[in-house]
């Protein structure tokens, strides 16, 4: 079996991590048990470009139990858990091409390795697999029946391809399922971003000035959790609506230029380019910490930071210290890459349970319906989304009320007023 990982001898530790995560993913476990019996993915070759974590491992194992052959590469050069990658290869015979800290060339070579498998389905987190296929491996397209996308940034890229008439096959937006974005983006990113910052810096958040750029679902999760730890949280936005929401949720809203002089920590979660740039670097106070929780390392203009700095050194595991004019020091976490996955372990298993249940069931859905689907971005079917919510509640031993026939009738009527 072909694979490229850091060190196969790490498999023992990785296997324990995979089992620990699996124990906190009850919905995925139920799917896995059904897949074991029914083999709904029999014969399907799945190429996955996802963060190589213990939760992703459980998804890969589920797909394999369902009869698929799976090939996995990383969706970010810094997010791979090398011990998990080793265990997937050694204990589960799943080919993995990912090494934490790989350079850009190896990152893309690993994507090419997954494409070499002759895949029929793409499972992406950020759309690098689809875009590489489209730009450099078009000969593989006739073989592909469909795919799915995990994250907001990937969906933005796919919708742009769809708009240009370039979407090569049907894709499901796992990101837009209610059981994904309302939990993974909000509570997952909220907790794991704080976790990454704390593991990297060991800083006290209570009393700190904490700035969150972007008040989408990820930004609001981060802001809420930072506030919970006692930080004074400021939000920056470009959307008047989201800015209003942030104010009414109890946060200060400012422009980033206004927020910089007092900011202790800045986190970007916008999905856009150069959100923190030269006009901000020069306004920051000595000791300010910059980090990013968006998918790509483009939100902080690192090239300019490098250019205007007189010196740079690695001061802790994932912290680079930049020395600016006059000796001012600015700290950048994880080279501007996803702080939650580079400095911590990504979202907790409990939320990835629902995200990856959506992935597994979307894969089954596309296999069953490929012939009737068009080259469009589809939402996860509502029945799947609702079933995942129902199973998750069940796993939490929580029952909910049901509408009485009288209530149902009332909700379907228009003639009953005061």
Which residues here bind ligand ADE, judged by CB under 6 A? 50-51, 53, 55-56, 341, 346-347, 352
State the nearest-atom distance from the C-beta of 328 to ligand ADE, in Å.
33
State the nearest-atom distance from the C-beta of 167 to ligand ADE, in Å.
23
- Whichever of 309 and 349 has its CB closer to ligand ADE, that residue is 349
For residue 53, the surrounding DSSP H or E stretch is none
Task: Report the alpha-carbon distance of residue 64 to residue 35 in Å, rounded.
Answer: 9
Distances (CA, A) of 392 to 184, 249, 337, 355: 13, 27, 31, 11
Write a three-state SS string for 217-282: HHHHHHHHHHHHCCCEEEEECCCHHHHHHHHHCCCEECCHHHHHHHCCEEEECCCCCCCECHHHHC
State the nearest-atom distance from the C-beta of 346 to ligand ADE, in Å.
3
For residue 401, the surrounding DSSP H or E stretch is none
State the nearest-atom distance from the C-beta of 157 to ligand ADE, in Å.
17
**Closest residue to bound ligand ADE by CB:** 346
- Whichever of 56 and 209 has its CB closer to ligand ADE, that residue is 56
State the nearest-atom distance from the C-beta of 56 to ligand ADE, in Å.
5
- Whichever of 126 and 146 has its CB closer to ligand ADE, that residue is 126
Q: Residue 105: which residues within 8 A CB-CB, separation 6 or more?
A: none
| Residues recorded for the chain | 418
Task: Report the alpha-carbon distance of residue 179 to residue 352 in Å, rounded.
Answer: 10
- Whichever of 152 and 234 has its CB closer to ligand ADE, that residue is 152
- Whichever of 193 and 208 has its CB closer to ligand ADE, that residue is 193
Helices 11-22 and 82-92, interaxial angle, to 10°? 90
- Whichever of 51 and 157 has its CB closer to ligand ADE, that residue is 51
> Dihedral of the CA atoms 407, 409, 410, 412 (nearest 10)?
120
- Whichever of 56 and 236 has its CB closer to ligand ADE, that residue is 56
State the nearest-atom distance from the C-beta of 55 to ligand ADE, in Å.
4
Task: Report the alpha-carbon distance of residue 363 to residue 170 in Å, rounded.
Answer: 11
DSSP-derived secondary structure letter, 171 = E
State the nearest-atom distance from the C-beta of 294 to ligand ADE, in Å.
12
State the nearest-atom distance from the C-beta of 51 to ligand ADE, in Å.
4
Task: Report the alpha-carbon distance of residue 261 to residue 115 in Å, rounded.
Answer: 47
- Whichever of 154 and 346 has its CB closer to ligand ADE, that residue is 346
Nearest to 78 by CA among 305, 306, 331, 297: 297
In what side-by-side order are the strands of the sheet with 209-213? 252-253, 232-236, 209-213, 265-268, 289-292, 329-333, 319-324, 309-316
- Whichever of 53 and 358 has its CB closer to ligand ADE, that residue is 53
State the nearest-atom distance from the C-beta of 271 to ligand ADE, in Å.
14
């Amino acid at each position: 079996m072909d694979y490229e990982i850091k060190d196969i001898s790490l498999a023992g530790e990785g296997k324990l991590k995979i089992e620990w995560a699996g124990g906190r993913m009850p919905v995925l476990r139920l799917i896995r048990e059904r897949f074991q019996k029914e083999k709904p993915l029999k014969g399907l070759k799945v190429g996955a470009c996802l963060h190589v974590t213990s939760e992703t491992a459980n998804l890969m194992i589920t797909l394999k139990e369902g009869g698929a052959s799976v090939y996995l590469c990383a969706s970010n050069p810094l997010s791979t858990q090398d011990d998990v990658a080793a265990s997937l290869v050694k204990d589960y015979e799943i080919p993995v091409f990912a090494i934490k800290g790989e350079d850009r060339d190896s990152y893309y070579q690993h994507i090419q390795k997954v494409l070499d498998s002759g895949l029929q389905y793409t499972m992406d987190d950020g759309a690098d697999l689809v875009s590489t296929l489209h730009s450099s491996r078009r000969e593989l397209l006739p073989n592909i029946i469909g795919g799915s996308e995990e994250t907001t940034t990937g969906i933005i890229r796919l919708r742009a391809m769809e708009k240009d008439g370039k979407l090569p096959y049907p894709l499901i937006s796992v990101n837009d399922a209610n059981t994904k974005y309302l939990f993974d983006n909000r509570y997952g990113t909220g907790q794991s971003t704080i976790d990454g910052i704390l593991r990297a810096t060991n800083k006290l958040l209570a009393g700190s000035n904490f700035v969150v750029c972007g008040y989408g679902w990820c930004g609001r999760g981060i802001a809420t959790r930072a506030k919970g730890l006692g930080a004074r949280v400021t939000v920056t936005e470009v959307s008047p609506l989201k800015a209003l929401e942030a104010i009414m949720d109890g946060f200060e809203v400012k422009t980033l230029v206004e927020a910089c002089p007092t900011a202790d920590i800045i986190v970007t979660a916008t999905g856009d380019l150069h959100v923190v740039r030269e006009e901000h670097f020069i306004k920051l106070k000595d000791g300010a910490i910059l980090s990013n929780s968006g998918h790509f390392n483009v939100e902080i203009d690192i090239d300019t930071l490098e250019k205007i700095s007189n010196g740079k050194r690695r001061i802790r595991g994932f912290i680079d210290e930049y020395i600016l004019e006059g000796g001012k020091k600015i700290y950048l976490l994880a080279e501007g890459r996803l702080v939650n996955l580079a400095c911590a372990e990504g979202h907790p298993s409990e939320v990835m349970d629902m995200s990856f249940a959506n992935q597994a069931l979307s894969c089954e859905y596309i296999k069953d319906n490929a012939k009737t689907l068009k080259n469009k971005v589809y939402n996860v079917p509502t029945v799947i989304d609702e079933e995942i919510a129902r199973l998750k509640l069940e796993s939490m031993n929580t029952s909910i009320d049901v509408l009485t026939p009288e209530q149902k009738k009332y909700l379907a009527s228009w003639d009953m007023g005061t």
